[in-house]
Structure 1
């Protein structure tokens, strides 16, 4: 059987003007992951990433560390199917309907870095509305369309894969959630309960045989835990 390693990007710049930039911790997480993978002697036959900067840079820093330890690494292929859903667009589209129930929501979301717990609570409510499909908005990628996009990317991988390939996919938490939905048929709401637990640079492994898929592991973060540095365990 072959394996697809779903790797969430390193910590991005939450609260900054441009979220799509790895923080110093995010770079460190990627380097630690690369060292861990080379220590395990996991060789990747292919490496894919979405085209978001945080995904691409996580892949680059991880592979640089692997190659620094003497291992040959593949080039990074880009497939936008593995991009994260547009969280800002989801918030902009669905927040107005939530304001009658949450009048402080706009201020909280604008200052998320200073109100992390409340930001997460409100974001989870908005995502719940998006996933339900009961609040459609013009021009907004629906949850169903997002899953279909991810499924198309996954199908492209499987069509091109050799039977024992090890394939790395550097992506985002929402994309991994969509993969869980596709592979395990877990309800979307339950999948997002798992989403909130996905650690930056964690590994989820999917085994495949032709088009048959099985989730072998989820959200492994041992490469970070072994360092006994709690600041490296991040979720955004």
Structure 2
């Protein structure tokens, strides 16, 4: 069987003007991941990333550690199917209908870094509306549309894959969530409960034979735990 390693990007710049940039902690997480893979002697036959900067930066920082250890580091391929869904667009489209119930929501979302717990509660409510399919808006990618995007990326991987290949996919939490939904059949709401637990640079492993795919492991972040440095375990 072959293996697809789903790797969530390192910590991004939550609350900054540009979220799509790794923080210093995010860069360190990616380097630790790469060193861990090198220590395992894991052969990576292909590496794929979405086209977001935080995904690509995580990939290059990790793969550089493999090269430094004298291991093969394949050229990074880009497939936008593994991009994250546009969370800002979801918030902009669905927030107006929520404001009568949550009059402080706009203030919280504009000051997310100072209101992390409340931001998460509101974001989860908005995501719940998005995945229900009952609040679709013109111009906003639907949950079903996002799932189909991710499924297309997975099918391309499988069509191009060779038996027993190890493929690293540097992606995002929502993309991993969509794959969990597709592969295990877990309902979207439950899949997003798992989403909130996905650690930056964690590994989830899919096993494949032909077009048959199964989930082998989820959200492993032992490479961070072994350092006994709690600040390296982050979720955004």
TM-score over 0.5 (shorter chain) = yes
Aligned match of 1:116: 116
Structure 2 counterpart SS, 1:218: strand
Corresponding position: 1:200 with 2:200: yes
Structure 1 counterpart SS, 2:7: strand
Runs of 5+ unmatched residues, structure 1: none
Deviation at 1:222, TM superposition (A): 0.1
| Cα distance between partner residues in 1 of 2:134 and 2:31 | 42
Aligned match of 2:54: 54
Aligned match of 1:212: 212
The residue correspondences of 1:26-175 to structure 2 (distance < 5 A) are 26-175=26-175
Structure 1 counterpart SS, 2:128: helix
Structure 1 counterpart SS, 2:71: coil
Deviation at 1:72, TM superposition (A): 1.5
TM-score by length of 2: 1.00
| Cα distance between partner residues in 2 of 1:186 and 1:224 | 27
| Cα distance between partner residues in 2 of 1:44 and 1:125 | 38
Runs of 5+ unmatched residues, structure 2: none
Deviations 1:144-168 (A, max 9, x none): 0000000000000000000100000
Aligned match of 2:233: 233
Aligned match of 2:176: 176
| Cα distance between partner residues in 2 of 1:166 and 1:74 | 11
TM-score by length of 1: 1.00
- Tell me the matched-pair count: 236
Deviations 1:174-233 (A, max 9, x none): 000000001000000000000000000000000000011110000000000000000000
Deviation at 1:234, TM superposition (A): 0.1
| Cα distance between partner residues in 2 of 1:21 and 1:123 | 21
Deviation at 1:71, TM superposition (A): 0.5
| Cα distance between partner residues in 1 of 2:182 and 2:195 | 14
| Cα distance between partner residues in 1 of 2:53 and 2:121 | 26
Deviation at 1:136, TM superposition (A): 1.0
Aligned match of 2:12: 12
Deviation at 1:66, TM superposition (A): 1.0
Structure 1 counterpart SS, 2:61: helix
